Amino acid sequence: MMQTRFIALPALLALGAVSTVAVATDPDYTLVNTVANVNAITVPIDSYTGQHDVMSGGVSVGDFNLDGYPDIFLPGLGTVADMLFINQQDGTFEEQAGAWGIDRLHMGQGSAVGDVNNDGLPDLFVQSFGPADQQAQPGHALLYINQGPDAMGNWSFTEEASERGVNSVMSIVAGKGAAFGDVDLDGDLDLFAATWQFTPGADGNRLFENDGNGYFTDISDEALPEPPFVLRGFTPKIVDINGDRYPELLLTCDFETSRLYVNNGPDEHGRISYRDATEAAGITEDHNGMGSTLNDFNGDGMLDWFMTNIFVSSANYFNTLYMGVSVDESGTPIFLDQATVRGVSDNGWGWGVVSGDYNNDGDVDIIATNGWPQWPSEPTRYWNNDGLGNFNDQSSIAGLSFNIDGRGLVHLDYDRDGDLDLAFVDNDGPFRLYRNDLGFEGRPFTHFLRFDINTDLHPCLAPMGYGTRVIATYGGKDHLRVVDGASSYLGQSELTVHFGLEIIEEVDQVRFEWADGSYTIIENPTIDHQSVVYAYHPADMDRDGRFTFYDISRMLSAYIAQDSSADFNSDGAVNIMDVMEFIERYNSPCE
C-alpha cells in the first residue's frame, strides 16, 4: 500500500477566534429564511400522477461556483420554476437559477450532485416527470453540465441528459432519488436512479455506467440481480460496506422491498456485477423504507444503516437502524436492527433523514423529518447520540420541535462557522433554512475539523472525493466518516467532511483512505478550520496531476539520496523493488 504523509494542511481558511474555555452544549437552531434571503414555497402542481405530488419535495447542496461556500438547489415542483440559491459568503443567498439556465418549470423529483465529466466542476442530475403544462410522462430526466464561468465571470449549466444517455430512467412515470458513485473504481462517477415503480416488468431502478467523459450506458440488466418482486425505490446509496473498496448498492425502498446488493468486483473482462445479499445481511425488518443515512453511530469502525419508515405500532412498523456487526467469509456484511433498543424507532410517517455531529461533541446524531396528509402529526426529531450509539430525542432543546409535512432534509454549514445547519422541504409549504448557533451569542465554543476533499489531480480516483474514508483520531478514539454522496430522500447534503471535537484542542492525526487503496495521513491538523485536502497519485512525484519526466527525475533523486519518499512500496526500505513498482505504476497508473 502506498503512503504519502503531510504535516500541514493546504489552503487553511480561518473561521474565527478559538475560545479558551469550552464545554459540551446543545445545538440551537434558528429559522433564518428571511435574513438569509431564501424565501420559497414548494407546492406540487396537479400534473403529477397518482400520489407522486404528495411524495415530492427534495433539495440538494453543492458548491456549484467553487468558492468554498455551499449553494442550494430547490426543485419548484411545477408550480414555480426550479430555484438555485447561490451563497453570497455573508450569511445570505441570491436566487440565480435563471442566470445559470436551470429555471425550468417542470415536475421535479430527486436530484444528485457530481462531476460527471471530470472537469473539476459539479454537475447536477434531476429526476423529472416532464414539463408542468403537460401530463406526467417518462423520458424527461435532466443532466445539467456545469460550464464554469464565461469571460465575464458568469456561471451557467447546459442540459444534456438525452445526448449523455440518462434522460430515460423508466418506461413509466416513477423516478425518485438518485446517487452518484464509482461502482467500478475506474475514476469516474456512475449513476444510480431509483424508481417507485408499480408495474411488473417495467424497467426501473437503473444503473448507468460512466464511460469516462460523462456519457453513460445503462448496464442494469447485466450488472444487477433480478429482483424477487417489484422494487418501490426511494433512496439509493453507493458505498463500500464490506471493505473491498468496490461500493455496494443500498436501496431504501417502500413496501418491504429494500435491497442490499453486494459488489462482486470486476470479472475477467472488467465488467461489474452485483449479487442480492439482502436476507443474508439481515436487512429484513423495514416495511416502508423512505429516507436513508449511513454512518458509524457506535464508533466501532463499521458503517450502520438507518432508514425512516412509517410508524404503526399495532403492526410493528418502525424505523430501522441496521447496526454493522461483521463481514462474513463471502464478503456479505451482517447487520442487526436495533432501532427500538437504541431509541430511534418512531418519527411518524418518516421521510428525509440526515446524520452528523450537530452538537460537535464527537459522535454522530440523527435528524429526521416526517408528515403525510390525514396522518397523526409528529414533530421533527433530533436524536442526540450518547457516544455509544444510543439516542434520545432533544428536538425541543435544539429548537427543532416543529410540525411540518416534511420530505427532503439536508445539512450544510452555509455560513462556514463550524457547525451543521439544516434545510427542510415542506410539501405544500414554505422551505425552511435553520442556522445552527452552536458556540455563538454567549454559548460555549466547541472545536471542530472540516475537510473538503479534492481528487482532481489523481487520475484513478472519482472526482469530489467520492468513496473516500476519513478517520480522525482524537480523544483516544477513531472517528470514521465516509464520502458516500450524502444522499437522502430526493436530494443530498454537502460533501464536506465534518468532525466535532467538543473541548478537545489537539487531534492526533487524520487518515484519508482513498478508493484506490492508497492513503494520506495528516498529523496534528490545525483545528477550527475548513481545509482542502488533495489526493495525488503515488507516481505523481511533483503533484501536478500529470506523469512526466519530472516525476521520474524526482524519484531517481530520492532513490539515490535514500530518501523515505522513494520507499514506493512502504516496506521501510529504499531499494530496487521501489524503482520497479514506481515504473509499473507510472506506466499503468490505474491498474
270 φ, ψ (degrees, to nearest 5): 85, 10
Confidence of residue 204 (pLDDT cuts 50, 70, 90): confident
User: Are the C-beta atoms of 410 and 354 separated by less than 8 Å?
Assistant: yes
Maximal CA-CA distance, the chain: 76
DSSP code at position 443: P
Q: Across residues 471-478, what is the average pLDDT?
A: 97
Amino acid occupying residue 49: T
Structure-block grid coordinates of residue 11: 489552503
Convert the pLDDT of each residue in 120-160 to its tens digit: 999 999 999 999 999 999 999 999 999 999 999 999 999 99
Q: Which three cell numbers stand for residue 144?
A: 445539467
Query: Among all chains, which residue has been given the C-alpha cell 459488489?
Result: 263
pLDDT in tens, 498-547: 999 999 999 999 999 999 998 999 999 999 999 999 999 999 999 999 99
Cα four-point dihedral sign 179, 37, 347, 109: negative
d(Cα 509, Cα 520) in Å, to the nearest integer? Answer: 10
Query: Distance (Å, rounded) from C-alpha 438 to C-alpha 24?
Result: 10
pLDDT given at position 350: 98
Q: Whole-angstrom Cα distance, residue 322 to residue 275?
A: 19
Q: What is the DSSP letter of 328?
A: -
Which run of H or E residues covers position 436? Answer: strand 432-436
Please tell me which residue, 571 or 20, carries the higher pLDDT value.
Answer: 571
231-236-242-246 Cα dihedral, nearest 10 degrees: 110
Measured in whole angstroms, the distance separating CA 210 from the mean position of its chain's CA atoms is: 18
pLDDT in the model for residue 254: 96
Residue 24 is predicted with a pLDDT of 55
Is 426 in contact with 405 (CB distance < 8 Å)? yes
Q: Which helix (H) or strand (E) holds 580?
A: helix 576-587
Give the span between the Cα atoms of 475 and 501, in whole angstroms: 8
Write down the mean pLDDT value for the chain.
93
9 — pLDDT class (breaks 50, 70, 90): very low
12 has a pLDDT exceeding 60 = no
pLDDT of 244-271, one tens digit each?
999 999 999 999 999 999 999 999 999 9
Give the whole-number percent of the chain exceeding pLDDT 70.
95
The average pLDDT across 323-344 equals: 98
Residue corresponding to grid cell 410522462: 137
Which residues have a Cβ under 8 Å from the Cβ of 221 and sit 6 or more positions away?
Answer: none
Q: Residue 568 has which C-alpha cell? A: 514506493
3-state secondary structure string across 52-88: CCCCCCCCEEECCCCCCCCEEEECCEECECCEEEEEC
- Greater model confidence, 225 or 24: 225
Classify 576 in phi/psi space as left (phi over 0), alpha (psi -120 to 50) or beta.
alpha
Instruction: Express as a percent the part of the chain with pLDDT over 90.
Output: 89
Residue 441 in this model has a pLDDT that exceeds 80: no
| Helices and strands in the chain: count of H runs, count of E runs | 8, 41
> In this structure, what C-alpha cell is assigned to residue 423?
434545510
Res. 440 pLDDT band, cuts 50 70 90? low
What cell was used for 119?
Answer: 472537469
Give residue 472's pLDDT band: very low, low, confident or very high (50, 70, 90): very high
Q: Is the pLDDT of residue 7 over 50?
A: no
**pLDDT of 302:** 98
pLDDT digit string (tens) for 47-72?
898 899 999 999 999 999 999 999 99
